[in-house]
Every structure is written in structure tokens, then in C-alpha cells.
Amino acid sequence: MTADNSEARGPAVRGFFDPATATWTYVVWGEGDNSCAVIDSVLDYDPAAGRTSTASADKVISFVESRGLRVEWVLETHIHADHLTAAQYIKKKTGGKTAISKHILDVLKTWEPIFHNAADAPPNPFPMNGSQFDHLFEDGEAFKIGALDARIIHTPGHTPADTSYIIGSSVFVGDSMFLPDVGAGRCDFPGGSAEDSYDSTRKLLALPDETRMYVGHDYPEGKNRRPQCMATVAEQKQANIRAGVNIQKSAFVAQRRDADRGKPVPELLLPSLQVNLRAGDVGNFIRIPVNRI
């Protein structure tokens, strides 16, 4: 499926692809309903200039406004390491509650010593209790987007806080799985686990075969296709190159460790973590800890 399609049944979905970070942002709503959720938004960032831009987020906001939708939730699948979230900007412009898994508390603990969040009294600290988000989801928590039923499942591995959102007949998996010809997210960040990642892919593949799985990134380079965002669970089971249903855990883990060995750090890792741990509050400064990672 490409960015321009929406679905005839189940939730309606509009995807927005950011080529700079290969990120998919989604607007999800129930047909005939005007409440929506925005999942994994992008705040554009030029690291050389230390300058943000809201061009990507404004496209999402324009779409929401053009459809007469009301943003009820601004959701994150995890603390991203490759792009800044526009959650605060979108919330300011459209309203809605920001939310993420409660396992962000573990991620905060991991990164606090590196960013010296409290000890150095930086200009823009991140609260350690997660209060920068309006809501922290419990594992398995059910919630509503208008009349749509939604539920979260904890799908750690890429990071300890990865969450997938089951919304109607679709699931939004962030980096827990990618499209069949790409595989699944890296597991070499602090707190990442290839074993957990495999177990999470089994949870996702246990969903009904017809479930539409929307991924957090796509990397079509060298695959002779344009960026796409969705495959069904049945397609993932049959064809996912790293995590198909016939791939054993030991093979998945070995291949994951091999692929992650020596993998470059994402260009926006340090700015992304700081801003995303503040739920998208850019503040006035982004710090670069030296020789810490």
C-alpha cells in the first residue's frame, strides 16, 4: 500500500512518508467518525544548523484539518533514535493527548547518566517520572479513538519500550517489524534485545492473518520499489526475510547480531533521544555528550 490509499474497512489510515528519515507517520480514524490518532510524527531537524522545521508535521495537520478530524491521541510507538517527534507541536496546534508505553521509564533511566539530566542542571531536563507525556499505557491497556477500539501490546526488542497499537483490524508496529523484504528493527541500542525482538514478532504474527500491519519505517533502496507501509499478517508470516513464521529464534538472534555488528549510529541519535525523552519539547538546547556512547 502507498501513502495515498485509505482502507475501505477497519480504520481509515493515511500514511505520510518522510524521505529524510524513512519514517512513516500515520493518521488513523474510524470511517464516519471525526476522532483520530496521529502515530509517530516527525519534526524536521537540520543538525548542522541546530534548526527545526515543521514542514512534515504541517502536512499532517493540514490533512487532519481538511478532513475535519479532531486529534484525540498523539501516540509514539517508542523513543525514536533516528528522528525527532513533533508530538508537542501537533498537540499545541490540534489538541490531543500525548501517550507512550510506561516502559519509557526504563529508557529514561538508561539515558539519564549519559545526558546528566539532573546532576548538571541542564537547561531542558526531562522529568524522570514520565510526566512529560499526558498518558503512559499499561501493557495490554485498551482505549478508544472516538468509537474505534484500540489496545496496546508491549513489543520490546528494538528498545525496551516498543509498543504496538492494535486499532480495529490494523496494527501499528513501529520498528518491531518492517515490511517482508526489509525484516525488523535493529536491536543494538542500550536496552535492546534480539531475543525480546523475536518474541515480539511472534506476538504480532499471532494476530489474525488479515490484520493490516503498518510499519514505522521503510527502506526500499535497492529493492526496485517505492516506499510502502503495509503488509498483512499473512504476508509477513510467509515472506518476512528475518522474522517469517518458519524462522527459529536461534537463527533470528544470530542474524540480528550479525546485522547489527558495526552498524553506524543514526545521524540524529543524540538530538532525537533528548527531544523525544521530553515528549517532543525541543527547548533551547540540545546537548552532545562526548565519548559517552
**Shortest-Cβ-distance residue relative to Fe ion:** 175
d(CA 240, CA 233): 10
Least Å distance between CB 249 and Fe ion?
A: 22
Least Å distance between CB 189 and Fe ion?
A: 8
Positions in 251-280 near Fe ion (CB under 5 A): none
Stretch that binds Fe ion, among 93-101, 149-157, 175-183, 205-213 (CB under 5 A): 175-183
Number of residues near Fe ion (by CB under 5 A) = 2
* Residue 41 contacts residue 66 (beta carbons within 8 Å): no
Positions in 74-93 near Fe ion (CB under 5 A): 80
As to burial, measured by CB atoms within 10 angstroms (0-12 exposed, 13-18 middle, 19+ buried), residue 285 is exposed
Report the residue number, 69 or 74, with the smaller CB distance to Fe ion.
74
d(CA 251, CA 285): 43
Stretch that binds Fe ion, among 68-76, 138-146, 172-180, 230-238 (CB under 5 A): 172-180
Residue with cell 464516519: 32
Site string for Fe ion, 214-253 (x = CB under 5 A): ----------------------------------------
Report the residue number, 22 or 282, with the smaller CB distance to Fe ion.
22
d(CA 142, CA 149): 7
Report the residue number, 71 or 215, with the smaller CB distance to Fe ion.
215
Least Å distance between CB 156 and Fe ion?
A: 12
Report the residue number, 117 or 272, with the smaller CB distance to Fe ion.
272
Stretch that binds Fe ion, among 54-62, 104-112, 169-177, 225-233 (CB under 5 A): 169-177
Please identify which residue in 18, 40, 72, 175 interacts with Fe ion, judged by CB under 5 A: 175
Report the residue number, 88 or 159, with the smaller CB distance to Fe ion.
159
CB crowding 61-80: b at 16 or more within 10 Å, else e: beebeeeebebbbbbbbbbb
Report the residue number, 80 or 91, with the smaller CB distance to Fe ion.
80
Angle between helices 55-66 and 87-94 (to 10 degrees): 30
- Residue 16, φ and ψ in degrees, nearest 5: -125, 120
* Residue 85 contacts residue 169 (beta carbons within 8 Å): no
Least Å distance between CB 110 and Fe ion?
A: 14
Report the residue number, 80 or 212, with the smaller CB distance to Fe ion.
80
Least Å distance between CB 157 and Fe ion?
A: 11
Query: Residues 6 or more apart from 191 whose CB is under 8 A from it?
Result: 106, 107, 110, 159, 160
Report the residue number, 145 or 173, with the smaller CB distance to Fe ion.
173
Least Å distance between CB 172 and Fe ion?
A: 13
The angle formed by the CA atoms of residues 156, 80 and 94, to the nearest 5 degrees, is 115
CB crowding 115-154: b at 16 or more within 10 Å, else e: bebeeeeeebbbeeebebbeebbeeebebebbebebebbb
Cα of first residue to Cα of last residue in the chain, in angstroms, is: 37
User: Is 40 an interacting residue with respect to Fe ion (CB under 5 A)?
Assistant: no
DSSP class of 223: T
| Residues contributing to the site for Fe ion (CB under 5 A) | 80, 175
